[in-house]
Amino acid sequence: MIKREVVDFHGVIFEPNKDKIAIHTNFKKELKVGEKSFSNEPNRLGLELYQIKTDSFLGFQVKPMGLLACEKIKEFYFSCVGNVFTSVE
C-alpha cells in the first residue's frame, strides 16, 4: 500500500464512517531526475491518506488521497463524521 521506503512507522488511524486511513511514517526522500538535495537529512516525516473502496466487480481497493509532508506533526485525528482531518504540530 505504501509506495515509499519507510524508515520508521509512527502510527495509523482508521476512520470507519468514510473508510479512510491515515499513516504517519518517516520515509526516504525521493529525488526526481535533475533534483538536488540541499539537506543533510535523507529522511522525511509525512502523513499519507488513503480511501478504502469495495466494489462487487473490482473487489477491495485502497486508493491514495495524498501526502502531507510535514516535519513537526505529533498527533493526528479524523473527526467523528470522517470529513475533517486534523493534525497537531
Q: What pLDDT score does 24 carry?
A: 85
**Position 65 pLDDT exceeds 80:** yes
Return d(Cα 34, Cα 66) in angstroms, integer: 23
Tell me the domain boundaries of the chain.
Answer: 6-29+42-88
Task: Determine the distance from the C-alpha atom of residue 43 to the mean position of all C-alpha atoms in its chain, rounded to a whole number.
Answer: 15
Say if CB 43 and CB 29 are below 8 A apart.
yes
Compute the distance between CA of residue 45 and CA of residue 72 in angstroms, rounded to an integer.
Answer: 8
19: left (phi over 0), alpha (psi -120 to 50) or beta: left
DSSP 42: -
Mean pLDDT of the chain: 81
